[in-house]
Amino acid sequence: MLQQELLIKVVAFFREHKVEYMITGSVVSSLQGEPRLTHDVDVVVRIDQSVMPLLTRSFQSPRYYVSDSSILEAIKSKTMFNLIDTSENDKVDFWLLTDEPFDLSRFSRRRDEEVLGHQMKVSAPEDTIIAKLKWAKLSGGSEKQFTDALRVYELQYLKLDLNYLEKWIRGLELENLWQRLKNEASPVF
């Protein structure tokens, strides 16, 4: 199964079981900015333990690997767990929605977009930029994360809510990366 097919199957699972979600990460920055290869799909989810047996039943071994204990730990600690397609080594990282103000804000701003011919909930471009800059900072300056943010900024520039962006840039102390991004950017008008 190709990564795209896995994404479509996961989104169908979310719809069927009424799981609130948001596609984020490099899949979305590729849609909103410059396409690039990625080895995983990042999804922010709001779930509880009742979803666990439904998920493991829908994505059964040996084709898939998902650990009940990792799901329970992720729910308890508001971290993440994986679903792996063992035949293709594609992976979905399920990031549990936290109570952090930025996480709540970006989750409330998710939007419907057509992806691969299917309607999906995705991160707003401003939130994609902020999250990518946040990951660049946390990873000690990852150029891949920074470039993803830069390309989204350049291609979405005319549609961006710059006040929203700057509010969170200050709040998350990302000013240095933000200034670098603005200095390097060549927005598409």
Average pLDDT by consecutive 10-residue portion of the chain (189 residues)?
85 96 93 85 94 92 92 94 91 96 97 90 98 93 91 97 97 97 94
Q: How far apart are CA 106 and CA 108, in angstroms?
A: 5
Among candidate residues 188, 118, 113, 116, the one with its CA nearest the CA of residue 128: 113
How is domain 3-122 classified at the CATH fold level? Answer: Beta Polymerase; domain 2 (3.30.460)
Among candidate residues 90, 4, 6, 106, the one with its CA nearest the CA of residue 46: 106
Torsions phi, psi for 3 (to 5 deg): -55, -40
Instruction: Name the CA dihedral angle for 163, 154, 33, 145, rounded to a multiple of 10 degrees.
Output: -80
**What is the pLDDT at residue 183?**
97
- For tokens 């299917």, the residue is 118
pTM tops 0.75, yes or no: yes
**Domain layout of the chain by residue ranges:** 3-122, 125-184
CB 125 within 8 A of CB 30: no
Distances (CA, A) of 171 to 37, 82, 98: 31, 29, 17
Q: How far is CA 102 from the centre of its chain?
A: 13
- For tokens 């899949």, the residue is 27
